[in-house]
Structure 1
Amino acid sequence: MQIPFLNQLQTLTGPPINKIVGVAPTGPVRAAAEQLLQHVLHGLPEMLAAAVGQISTGQLLASYTTAREFNPAKIIGFNAEVIRQQQQAMRALQLPPDEQLTELLITLRTQLHLLRLLPDGQRFLYVAVDCRDTNLGIAREVMRTCEP
């Protein structure tokens, strides 16, 4: 049953868990972000979290998480900054124009955090998985095949 007051009250305790949440204003950008997360969730049902964000602003467009303590809204801006800094480093290296950043991997002891730039160059997909549940190859392939 959908009770608006209870839904609003639930958001005060943290992000909804096991549910894709669109944050961007309703429209094609939000729908595309939610659809992308649906594809990732279908391919990686055991993932910890996923989100779609804008690179230039660090704005969250849509997110999914399995635990309230894992809040993509808090980290999406930092991930966008990591991408911008890496792009700046690549410009400093004066690499050929056809060399472009496609993916970043952050490896922790028990988790993998992947950032994949989407083909439009304006947005990125963030996925976090537990190393015990998913290997890197599977996560990368699911992210690659989910691109619009």
Structure 2
Amino acid sequence: MQIPFLQRLQGLTGTPVNKIVAAGAGAEKAASERMLQHVLAGLPEVLGAAVVQVASGVALATYTSSREFALSKALGFNAEVVKQQQKALAALQLGPEEQLEEILITLHTQLHLLRLLPDGKRFLYVAVDCRDTNLGIAREVMRTCE
């Protein structure tokens, strides 16, 4: 049963867990939700996922499987990583065909992938436990979200 008061009360306790939370409206919101649904279908053990605007670092949609995974804190920093890498590639003057596609951050037990979407204005972020998920599968799921 959906009780609005209880839903608002749960929202005050922190980030919703095991639920896609979308911001904004219209087609962009719907597309962001669909991307995360696709990620969840392909990677059911995902720790966190988000669709993020590169310019502002604002999340259009997020999903986390644990309250301890502070996804919202990391997204702005990840957007900055993408922007700085784009600047570094521009400084190399590699040519227009060489565009940033993906950034992989490897930790001891986790893999964090940032994949630029075709419009170049947003990226898909996925964090997985490397003991549960194969890097190749994670990459393929992200690639097919586009």
Structure 2 equivalent of residue 72 of structure 1:
71
TM-score by length of 1: 0.96
Whole-angstrom CA distance in 1 between matches of 2:131 and 2:12 = 31
* Misfit runs of 4+, over 4 Å: none
Which residue of structure 1 lines up, in the alignment, with residue 125 of structure 2? 126
User: Counterpart of 2:35?
Assistant: 36
Superposed, which structure 2 residues align to 1:1-148 within 5 Å?
A: 1-23=1-23, 25-147=24-146
Letter in 1 for 2:84: Q
Encode CA deviations 1:75-94: one digit per residue, 9 max, x unaligned.
11111000000000111111
RMSD: 0.8
SS in 1 for 2:28: helix
> In percent, how many aligned pairs have the same letter?
71
Give the CA deviation at 1:124: 0.4
- Give the Å deviation of 1:4: 1.5
CA positional deviation for 1:32? 0.4
| 8 Å CA contact retained: 1:14, 1:71 | no
Question: For residues 71 and 36 of structure 1, what CA distance do their matches in structure 2 show?
Answer: 20
Per-residue CA deviation, residues 39-94 of structure 1 (Å, 9 max, x unaligned), is 01000001111000000111110011100111322211111000000000111111
Quote how far apart the aligned CAs of 1:105 are.
0.2
Aligned length: 146
Aligned equivalents of 1:71 and 1:118: distance in 2? 23
Distance 1:70 1:145 in 2: 25
Q: Report the Cα distance in structure 2 between the residues aligned to 1:123 and 1:12, rounded to whole angstroms.
A: 28
Which amino acid in structure 2 is aligned with residue 64 of structure 1?
A: Y
- Any idea what the Cα deviations from partners look like across 1:6-34, whole Å, max 9, x if unmatched? 111111221111111112x2211111000
